[in-house]
Each structure stands twice: as C-alpha cells, then as structure tokens.
Amino acid sequence: MIKKILPIILFAFALFAQQSPMDQNQFMLAESYEQRGDFVKAVEIIETLNKKDPANIQYFNKLNSLYLQLKKYDESAALINSRINITPQDISLYGLLGSTYYTAGDRTKAYQVWDDTAEKFKTNPMTLRIISNYAIEKRDFEKAIEYLNRGKEISKDPFLYSYDLGELYQITMRYREAASEYCDLIKANPSQYQQIESKILSYSNKPNALDETIEVVDKHKSDDISFSYLLARLYIEKKNYDEAFDLFKEIDKKQNTRGADLFSFGEFVYRDGEYKTASEVFKFLIDNYSDQQNIPLAKLGYAKTQEALFIQKYNATNPEWKSFFIPAKVDENEIEPVISAYQEIIKVYQHSEVAIEANLRIGILLAHYRNDIIEGEKYFSIITETYPMSKFASLAFIELGNIKMQQAKLDEAEKLFQSVVKLQRANPEDKSYANYQLARIFSFRNDFESARKNLISVMGNLKDNIANDAIELSILLNTAKNDSSNLSLYCSAEFLTEQKRFSEAKDLYLQLSQNPQAFVFHSIAKLRVAEMLIATDAFSAAIADLSLIVEEAEKNIYADKALYLQGQIYQYGLKDSLKAVESYESLLAKFPKSLFLDEARQNIIELKKKLS
C-alpha cells in the first residue's frame, strides 16, 4: 500500500513545486470555496489558473469536477476536448468525454465517443477495458459487457477481460455466463483456482446461481482436474454430499492421493453435521487405505460419526429442550456399537492421542447416556492418572468434577476443578469453566466471598460462553450481599438442582418466591419453580406458573424466557403445534429485544411447515 501511495505523494509535490506560491494559494482558496459549497467562486479561480497553465492536470481535474457539479456539461466537454488536443493519445480523456455526455443525458453521443475511441485505438489491448470502466462508473453494465466481449474477441486473452466480465455477469445475475468466464480463467491458468473458487462461492447463495454454475462447471470436468475439485465443492455447497463423495473418489483415483482428499472431505461433512455421509467416507477410507498415515484419525472419525448419529437419534426422543432433566436410559443395542468402535481404537493405537480421545468419548457415553457413572469415571481416570499432559486431560478432569458435584462430594469436586486451573495445557475456555464451577462450589458452602473472587477471572473474557452465566451469578451474589440467609437458601436449592433432586429444590425455590423479605430472589425463584415442574413433567402446573411470570412483564427480567419456555412445553412436551406457534409469536410481539427471538422465529417456521 505504501508503495502505491508514495508515487502519488511525490507527483503531488512535483505539481506544487511547478506552481508559484501565489498559484498554490489561489488553488487552496478555490478548494476552500468548494468545501463551503460556493462552486461559482471556485470555478472563477480555477478557470484563471487553467488558462495560465492549460497543461496542469491538477487544474484540469478540479475544473472538470466543478463543471459537473454545476451541471455545466458543455463547458466540461469543451475543457476535455481542449485537453485531448494537448494529449491526443490519452484514452482515458475520451472515456471521460463520453462520461460527461452520459451524465448530461445524451447516451447516443456518449456511445458514439466511446465506440469511436475503441476503433481509433483498437491496436491497444487496454482500450476496451478503459472504456468499459467508464461505462461501469455509470452503472451501464450491459454496455460495459459489450466492450469487454469485443476486447476478449480481439485479444483472446481471458486475463484481460474474463475476470471483469465474470463480475459484471454476477452483478446482473447471469450466473451461467459468469461461470463460463471464470472457467475460462481456470483453464488458462489453473494456479488461479483458489481465487476463482472463492469468487464463485461468494455468490453461490443467490437464487439459481448454484444450479446454473454447476451446469457450466460440469461441462468442463474433463478439461482439468481443477474443475472436478470445483464441481465437488459446489456439490458440497448444495448439500449434495453423495455426488461430492463420488466425485472425490474419482479425483482420488486420477490424482493417486491415497485418500488425502477424501479424508479432508470426511472431516468437512462431519463438521457440517452430515454424519451419515461422513460415516460412509471414513468407512471407505478404513476399508481401502488401511496402511495410510491418516487411518487412525479416520477410525476415530468413523467412531465419532457413529456417536453423533446415536446422539441425534437420542436427542429426538429425549428432553434436551428442558433447562433441567434426568436423561433417559438408552437402548444397549444402540450405544454398544459406538463404544465398541472406540474400544477398537484404544486397543490398536495404545497411548496415542487418538486412543486418549477415545477413552474420553467412552466415558461421556457411559456417564451421560447409559447413566453408568462408575464405569464412566474409570475411563476419565485413565486419562487424568496416566496421561495428565494430554490435551484431553482438562476435559477428563471437568467430567470427573461434574460427577462429584452431582454426587454432593464437593471437596473432591473442588480438587478436580483446581487441577484444571493449574493445568498448563488446559485451554482458556476449560479454565474459565473450572473457575465458574469452583465459584458455584463455594456458593453451595456459603463461602460467598471466595465465590465472588473466582467469578472475576471468568467475567474478564466476554467472548467465552460461560461469561454470561458468571455475570448472572456475580450480580446475584452482590445484590444479595446483605441478605445472607435467603442467599444461603437459594444456593441450597441450586445445589439440590445440581444433584437432580428437583422436587426438593422446587420446595426451596417456592419458599423464596413467597417470602416478602426475599424480594431480590423473587424473579429467579419463580422461574426456577417452573423449571423444576418442567423437569418432573408437570407441564400444566409449569404453564400456569410461567403465565404469571409473563404477566409481570418488565417487573420480571425472566418474562421473555418464561414465554419462550411456554412455547417449548407446547412444542415438545404437549405436542400442541398451534399453541406453540401462538406462544412464540406472542414472544416476538411482547419482547422485541429478547435473546430468544431467533430461536422463536426458527421454531415458528418449522412448526408452520408441519401444520401446512
């Protein structure tokens, strides 16, 4: 950037060096008049300077700009023609002349000037590009396309014209033509592939763009391997993963990449949540490239896709929508193949990071989905005891800490979370989560000062997901600083909730919500009572309580969440789509600044599709 700016600065200095001090002062005076909107006085000064030094480009540009602002188009045309007489080989002056006529509303004359210029300087390959740029400035894209196509026919050099043509076709929504130009560029120079792919993907979400582009690129598939990669990428963009998979298998054979591209594709579709295709890709790699370097990762990828497919099915029939719930026990026939896939990895790749992650995944499956806490702990402990320097150690410590909290073993939980904080390889997010859990442990013990100190470090990074929870807890602890008895009662209720003792927790929350002296806790306690009712499937009672919160409106900061939870109960608990839509639409109307708006809108769309 500096290299580009420097010549401009030097040129400006050179111009000023040629001017007398008086002329410099007059020019600056004219600019000051222009800035104040007094164009007439500015024109008088610049006209005098231009007559004195007609070759000065700075005077010319300024005077022409002022004429156009004053709509003195004849004067602008005369000025440009006088400049053409001085430098008749300057193509940009003819473009500028046509631009003046165009601005004046005389397109016929503008086109005539531009067409004559194109003919006059037809041996210069840049002429039509220069003229097309003036047409683009006037947003006359069709005329610009005409000039660029003429230039392309003459030069046969796609680099001079195809990129600009592609952009103009894209702007005018002629996606087939745009794709054709971009394919010409790739064919002429495959090294441009990444740049062109990015360009195409930038507009692929426009109506019909993807289908029309695929149609064009498919015709070029045999020209160069780059087109196969581009076509595969477009299939992915269209979510047509099976076609992309077949294409990557073809690419792999042609390029002899030994599964490298397929592995990248498998990882991509896994991240995109297309677990079925990802599973097929990793299985294909395992079956066909068992001796390759990426196979341990492919086996891990396969196991993770099996896990993801299992969790998808589990979530469809389990209450993930609830704020708090007791997970349902899963069918052994569904979870066992996933565990077996991870156990095979541990057996074959002992002591590797792949095997360590497999231990973590098995522990999560056992603890969270099979409700087998004891077995789950064993796998987490393998990591914390044998591989404390692994990047997965912090997650294993966290899982163990959460288990101990649920078991009401707070001393053991504290040690485990302290281990995460001290762990050098633990990432900042894991440390923040550990500090937040430590703060909660201190609050359960009524050590509120220690809890506040721990929350400070968590609240420092607002990009961290746990920061909002930490801020909410900190506000509550500080607001209720002088009401230690009710704060203690609230923390006791939270501790019972952590242990999934929902009925007992509800009684304590209810006590707080009905205590006139505990006004600080009224809003949160009322919401928690409803959440405990939802956790125990007492949906009718929960809806009644949530309705009372909604009626409080701005008096209860959780009123929007209460209305959102109502919609969730109707949608998932009672399967009443009409009532769910009614609740979500009420949320949009009553709480236009709610954090739940996007989710509510998405749920309305999905429910209305079902109803139609």
- Please count the other Cβ atoms lying within 10 Å of the Cβ belonging to residue 116: 12
* Nearest-angstrom CA–CA distance, 427 and 385: 19
Q: Does some domain include residue 144?
A: no
First and final CA of the chain: distance in angstroms? 57
Residue that finishes a domain, picked among 72, 88, 104: 88
Residue 538 region, left (φ>0) first, then alpha (ψ -120 to 50), else beta? beta
Q: How far is CA 603 from CA 142, 212, 252, 587, 598, in A?
A: 43, 32, 41, 12, 9
* Nearest-angstrom CA–CA distance, 460 and 440: 17
Q: Is the dihedral of CA 120, 125, 128, 133 positive or negative?
A: negative
- Please count the other Cβ atoms lying within 10 Å of the Cβ belonging to residue 215: 12
pLDDT at 220: 87
CATH number for the domain harbouring residue 33: 1.25.40.10
Residue that finishes a domain, picked among 35, 63, 88: 88
Do residues 175 and 203 lie in contact, with contact meaning Cβ atoms separated by under 8 Å? yes
* Nearest-angstrom CA–CA distance, 227 and 139: 32
Q: Does some domain include residue 530?
A: yes
Residue that finishes a domain, picked among 57, 88, 119: 88
Q: Mark 580-604 as b/e (b = at least 16 C-beta within 10 Å).
A: bbebbeebeeebeebebbeebeebb
Instruction: Please choose, from the candidates 7, 15, 112, 119, the residue with its C-alpha nearest in 3D space to the C-alpha of residue 58.
Output: 15
The first and second tokens of residue 356, run together, are: 């360590």
pLDDT at 361: 94
The first and second tokens of residue 333, run together, are: 């026939």
* Nearest-angstrom CA–CA distance, 125 and 168: 19
Considering its fold, how many domains does the chain have in total? 2
Please name the residues in contact with 503: beta carbons below 8 A apart, sequence gap of 6 or more. 532, 536
The first and second tokens of residue 351, run together, are: 């002591």
- Please count the other Cβ atoms lying within 10 Å of the Cβ belonging to residue 510: 17
Q: Does some domain include residue 527?
A: yes
Q: Does some domain include residue 175?
A: no
Cα 294 to the center of its chain, rounded Å: 28
Q: Does some domain include residue 320?
A: no
Do residues 371 and 327 lie in contact, with contact meaning Cβ atoms separated by under 8 Å? yes
Q: pLDDT tens for residues 482-504?
A: 899 999 999 999 999 999 999 99
Do residues 265 and 244 lie in contact, with contact meaning Cβ atoms separated by under 8 Å? yes
pLDDT at 601: 95
Instruction: Please choose, from the candidates 110, 86, 109, the residue with its C-alpha nearest in 3D space to the C-alpha of residue 96.
Output: 110
- Flag residues of the chain having pLDDT under 50: 1-17
Domain of 34? 18-88
What residue type is 515 in one-letter code? N
Residue 556 sits at the vertex; the CA angle it makes with 551 and 559, to the nearest 5 degrees, is 60
pLDDT at 50: 87
pLDDT at 109: 95
Q: Does some domain include residue 54?
A: yes
What residue type is 564 in one-letter code? Y
Q: pLDDT tens for residues 32-54?
A: 888 888 889 988 888 888 898 88
* Whole-prediction pTM: 0.68
Q: Does some domain include residue 523?
A: yes
Treating both helix axes as pointing N-terminal to C-terminal, what angle do 91-103 and 107-120 enclose, rounded to 10 degrees?
170
Do residues 597 and 587 lie in contact, with contact meaning Cβ atoms separated by under 8 Å? yes
- Please count the other Cβ atoms lying within 10 Å of the Cβ belonging to residue 556: 19
Q: Does some domain include residue 56?
A: yes
* Nearest-angstrom CA–CA distance, 361 and 355: 10
The first and second tokens of residue 72, run together, are: 């003195």
Q: Where are the alpha helices (DSSP H) in 318-389?
A: 332-348, 353-364, 373-386
* Nearest-angstrom CA–CA distance, 440 and 417: 11
